[in-house]
Amino acid sequence: MEQKKRKNRSQQRNNFVFLLLFFASFMIMDRVSIFAQEEFSPAYAVVLKDKVNIRAGAGPNFEILGQADKNEELAVAGATYDWYKVKLPEDARCYVHRDYIRDNVAQADKLRLRAGCGLNYNVLGMIKQGERVQVIGQEGDWLRIVPPENCFGWIKKDCLELSRRKYLPQPVKRVSVLPAVIQKNQVRISGIIKDQGQIFGRLGTHKLTVDKKTRYYLQSDQIDLKPYVYHRVSITGEIVNTKKKSRYPLINVQEIKEEE
């Protein structure tokens, strides 16, 4: 009986050691996988097959953005499991909402680029305020643009062969964007709305901060601004000429849209 108990205890210890070793090896393999991804060196690759799908994510269920032909060269920026992250070619599908583009220049910061005309499509990358885009078409409220430098898709690894030529991303050029465009007292500007508070003698019910600084006081005869407090928005309105001296101009808001 005692011998059987010792045998059971020994078996339990062996099982515990086995589980411990199993989880340790799993963690080591996971770390190795992470390090392998971090150490990937961007390079160019040649397409090995005809009509290879470029997708919006690392999986067969993501949107198809376009196709690459055999012997075409693509820039590979990263890798994960069975997929390579590639810089999108010029004819790949890439969209941005027209409200945030003026004169082919982004008017909002961290502007998401999507795989289709709608917020339900996957994000392909982002551009910052002041970056130029090349518009090649329009579908409703969405502009189709040439994918910029930091816009990526995904291709199965077995469809590409890496070369020794390194891929060096080009620096993105930006232009200065004025905080507002004023024509005949009309203003269109992006920022964060904050409550003005009950302060005697101050104009407006709210204020608009741009780059963490107050730029305008706000009021509206048509729109309730309270639901937008602490939200990033794009507003259209009219500069109000007042007799009171004020530190900042006062805008009568006529239209407001919440940014992404």
Distance of CA 47 to the CA centre of its chain: 27
Residue 33: pLDDT over 50 = no
Query: Would you place residue 189 in the very low, low, confident or very high pLDDT band (cuts 50, 70, 90)?
Result: confident
Highest mean pLDDT among 10-19, 37-46, 178-187: 37-46
In this predicted model, which residue has the larger pLDDT, 182 or 203? 203
56 burial type by CB count under 10 A (0-12 exposed, 13-18 middle, 19+ buried): buried
pLDDT score for 13 = 62
Does the domain at 186-258 match CATH 2.40.50? Answer given as yes
Rounded CA separation 61/12 (Å): 44
Distance of CA 115 to the CA centre of its chain: 12
Residue 28: pLDDT over 50 = no
What share of residues in the chain are helix, strand, coil (percent, to 5)?
20, 40, 40
Mean pLDDT of the chain: 81
pLDDT score for 256 = 86
Query: Please, are residues 135 and 101 in contact by the beta-carbon 8 Å criterion?
Result: yes
Query: Would you place residue 36 in the very low, low, confident or very high pLDDT band (cuts 50, 70, 90)?
Result: very low
pLDDT score for 24 = 55
Mean pLDDT of 141-161: 93
Residue 7: pLDDT over 80 = no
Q: Compute the chain's Rg from CA coordinates.
A: 27
pLDDT score for 37 = 45
In this predicted model, which residue has the larger pLDDT, 8 or 132? 132
Q: Which of the 8 DSSP states describes residue 9?
A: H
Rounded CA separation 106/97 (Å): 10
In this predicted model, which residue has the larger pLDDT, 150 or 33? 150
Order of all β-strands in the sheet with 111-114: 123-127, 111-114, 95-97, 142-145, 135-139
Q: Tens of pLDDT along 197-246?
A: 655 556 788 888 887 788 888 888 878 888 888 888 888 888 887 666 77
pLDDT score for 61 = 94
> 107: closest CA among 143, 150, 157, 138?
143
Query: Please, are residues 151 and 68 in contact by the beta-carbon 8 Å criterion?
Result: no
Rounded CA separation 180/237 (Å): 11
In this predicted model, which residue has the larger pLDDT, 258 or 131? 131
Q: Tens of pLDDT along 113-123?
A: 999 999 899 99
Mean pLDDT of 92-100: 91
The residue extents of the domains of the chain are 43-166, 186-258
User: Which of the following CATH numbers is that of domain 43-166: 3.40.190.10, 1.10.10.1100, 2.30.30.40, 3.40.640.10?
Assistant: 2.30.30.40
Q: Which of the 8 DSSP states describes residue 1?
A: -
The answer to whether the predicted template modeling score (pTM) of the entire model surpasses 0.75 is no
Cα atoms in the 13 Å half-sphere on the side-chain side of 84: 26
Phi, psi dihedrals of residue 123, rounded to the nearest 5°: -85, 130
Q: pLDDT exceeding 70 applies to what percent of the chain? A: 75
